Amino acid sequence: MRKGATRMSDDEQDARGVSKKAYKHDLRALQVELVKIQRRAIRHGHRILILFEGRDAAGKDGVIKRISEHLSPRDTRVVALGKPSDRDTRSWYFQRYVPHLPADGEIALFNRSWYNRAGVERVMKFARKAEVAAFLETVGAFEQMLVHDGMQILKYYLDISRTEQETRLEDRDRDPLKQWKKSPIDAVALQKWDEYTNARDEMFLKTDFEHAPWYVVRTDDKRAARLNVLGHIIRSIDCPETDKTVAAVDPAVVIDNPGQRLDRLAR
């Protein structure tokens, strides 16, 4: 945090956007619609895959928690894989993700995904340049195969400003209840801001497919981001039982076609 700056409470931060009262009301309404989507998915054997990527502290955990909070745990998968094992590193890159894909009637929420290769693995030099290039060239075919087999894929990148990321990472350091979120990579997240920006931009240019599009969500306002992600999911999934009127999406918060709108993303 800059010298002389003070940490605002969550209520003070969100006063610029969605009030706590309105947030709770709208969140509940959206969660009711998500339950309807899941019930239909179970009845008809739909498979729904939702990927979340983004910079450190962008709010992936919080968004996923609000999505899954009232869904059936039996039919909802929250996937957050750790460091690849030795065997993982000697296998087909996508192999370790395949067992976690949704079966009929399931919703799978990936807290980071195979796009690690285009982001953190590239920036931190965990993957060679040739491996990154191969991933960017083949991921479209992998996702096309999943879609062709009946899976719906939604990909969200949570975008955060540099100032807000710095604030949240410092808050994470101080809060004893957030220690589980810390990782050695946090320490270099800000140092390598530009490298992450370049990696993100190339990822959008090469992997924003018609069959599996990217959506960028601005997350400096946590409440607005969560409501907009839930609303966007409800609007994106075909479910006649849902009330789409409660699922408002602000185009200033959720940005589609990010590869064509790089100038609107955090720099």
Contact status, residue 152 vs residue 237, Cβ threshold 8 Å: yes
Give residue 16's pLDDT.
53
φ/ψ (deg, to 5) at 213: -75, 155
Q: Around Cβ 66, how many Cβ atoms within 10 Å?
A: 20
Give residue 183's pLDDT.
77
Domain residue ranges in the chain:
22-264
Please compute Rg for the chain using Cα positions: 18
d(CA 132, CA 79): 22
Give residue 127's pLDDT.
98
d(CA 137, CA 233): 27
Residue pLDDT tens, the chain, 267 long? 333 333 334 444 444 578 999 999 999 999 999 999 999 999 999 999 999 999 999 999 999 999 999 999 999 999 999 999 999 999 999 999 999 999 999 999 999 999 999 999 999 999 999 999 999 999 999 999 999 999 999 999 999 999 999 999 999 888 888 887 777 777 788 999 999 999 999 999 999 999 999 999 999 999 999 999 999 999 999 999 999 999 999 999 999 999 999 999 999
Give residue 14's pLDDT.
46
Taking the model in full, what pTM does it have? 0.91
d(CA 127, CA 150): 31
Contact status, residue 228 vs residue 217, Cβ threshold 8 Å: yes
Q: What's the CATH fold of domain 22-264? A: Rossmann fold (3.40.50)
SS3 sequence, the chain?
CCCCCCCCCHHHHHCCCCCHHHHHHHHHHHHHHHHHHHHHHHHHCCEEEEEEEECCCCCHHHHHHHHHCCCCCCCEEEECCCCCCHHHHCCCHHHHCHHHCCCCCCEEEEECCHHHHHCHHHHCCCCCHHHHHHHHHHHHHHHHHHHHCCEEEEEEEEECCHHHHHHHHHHHHHCHHHHHHCCCCHHHHCCCHHHHHHHHHHHHHHHCCCCCCEEEEECCCHHHHHHHHHHHHHHHCCCCCCCHHHCCCCCCCEEECHHHCHHHCCC
CA angle 217, 220, 223 (to 5 degrees): 80
